Structure 1
């Protein structure tokens, strides 16, 4: 995707329905509401996906971002929550053993609950937004910088680009992802959810919402990891026994790596905390847990080839006042 080289770009992390916080961030970045659309005279926003689910103003956030994209004031890639919404709403292909691409389990229902409830009185709008999600590319490769929701895997992106040159998939590809291990399933899992690895010693992790799993999210940028603890990525820490377990040489060789010599890469997805900063000189995660009263974060990109820690901009997400 060729972008205007003379324009500056403001890359913005996961919103999850925090529409008022997004307005505060856009205002801090110098965007102004004109004719119903947030605009900047010289810059363009790029959203990293996960506009929906969890937050208090999902419908408002979608209208805001959609309005900017249609007006040419923003670009947006697909996040795993936009994929989840499409998959929840789409019939699975015959022979897959499912009714929908994303099965209607109690856990999946909880994750999409706020979105469906906020659109309950606006079914036509929700259908239109689902159609729009197909227009969101799974990645942006601007040459000097790249954008993907969770993980850049050139071994998947190149064959994907051969099918969909602009990274925008169709319903047939979405349906194909219902089949575990298929190319489509692998693409969505890797690009929109990231890399993972099975915990050693038969251990499991249980998240705050009660979901128990045997895999954990892994970093894809460590140059010389030695233990499981070296590659674990937020939000969940590993049990001490797992963290200290050495990686085998085979495991090290199979880890995906995004080299330090590659173009700048911006991702969301990973629920970071603390002061926003680069992960390393060519990699930034802009998801700082906005919907959990963290920060909504942007990076102001100009012509630099290495990330500048001074160019992160953020707003704190205000907690609602306690009842008196």
Structure 2
């Protein structure tokens, strides 16, 4: 089996169609009734292939619903799998009232502030808040597992952290999907459930010392910074050397600021695939075990896939990447 592991799409349906064609997928109509029902059309893979979408299907792009229709048609046809990204999680939290505190009556799990509205505006422009279409796609997001593990490899949106996965497992379905109760619990800041969900869907972050902050590309003021968790021996390194952030973000951090109390170890012998990190440049494995397939399709980069042969998952190779470069 060849897994075509496809990076963050962010509503870029034309790029997705281009990449699928480049990978040898063909638009097919499964019409067992003779009615020619177009809703049964899906992109069929070459023999022996299956797509795995690594999350962040929505937000930022101009073709939100078309992207979702392509991905879920493939899932329904049994030719693809997909995991949840932080943007799908955020969509659920943005639409769900907080049930845990009387003081928060009428408040949503993800606040409707200016930054969050701006991040989510492309999706809501096509899927009006509270509409039947909105409820439908939210229900489909609940079907996306937080991670997938096969005999060959591990797939997660941001970080393969078995300790925090163990915190989440009792809250999830057998297939590692969220429930409405799990959404409530993992949205409560300051809890172990919240921290565990943040680690799996947003990666390893460290608090900046001495009250430092930076303003990210979306205009949000951040007190934590993502780090390259796939690197060895992270603790006590200079933050600018281990951070995974835009140069404009790093420029706001003093160069002599060190990471403190940062303890993370990747605890699997399998290859790990993720998205989330907005990489650019020529795609290559990040370490002997770790591949990221997010190469900024919604920004300056290209929609990217890694073709994993499950009979020979390691060693990882830059030759296995495929990028769709529009003509």
The number of aligned residues is: 307
TM-score, structure 2 normalization = 0.88
1:100 to 102, 105, 108: 108
1:31-88 Cα deviation digits (max 9, x unpaired): 1100110011221000011011110100100000010001101000000000011001
Residue 298 of structure 1: aligned partner: 305
Q: 1-side partners of 2:76 and 2:233: how far apart?
A: 43
Contact residue 93 and residue 178 of structure 1 kept, 8 A: no
Q: 1-side partners of 2:110 and 2:130: how far apart?
A: 22
Residue 239 of structure 2: aligned partner: 228
Structure 1 residue 120: deviation in Å? Answer: 3.2
Q: 2-side partners of 1:295 and 1:68: how far apart?
A: 21
Q: How does 1:1-324 map to 2 (within 5 A)?
A: 7-35=1-29, 36-40=41-45, 41-95=47-101, 97-98=103-104, 99-120=107-128, 123-164=131-172, 165-225=174-234, 226-236=237-247, 237-239=249-251, 242-248=254-260, 251=261, 254-258=262-266, 262-302=269-309, 303-316=312-325
TM-score, structure 1 normalization = 0.89
Ranges in structure 1 where 5+ consecutive residues have no aligned partner:
1-6, 319-324
Query: Which of 19-28 and 227-236 deviates more?
Result: 227-236
Matched residue of 1:33: which SS? strand
Structure 1 residue 247: deviation in Å? Answer: 4.0
Ranges in structure 2 where 5+ consecutive residues have no aligned partner:
30-40
CA RMSD of the aligned region, Å?
Answer: 2.0
Residues 82 and 204 of structure 1, relative CA distance in 2, 3 Å threshold? same
Query: Which of 200-209 and 165-174 deviates more?
Result: 200-209
Structure 1 residue 132: deviation in Å? Answer: 0.8
1:99-124 Cα deviation digits (max 9, x unpaired): 11111111111111110111239932
Q: 1-side partners of 2:108 and 2:167: how far apart?
A: 26
Structure 1 residue 229: deviation in Å? Answer: 2.3
Q: 1-side partners of 2:86 and 2:276: how far apart?
A: 8
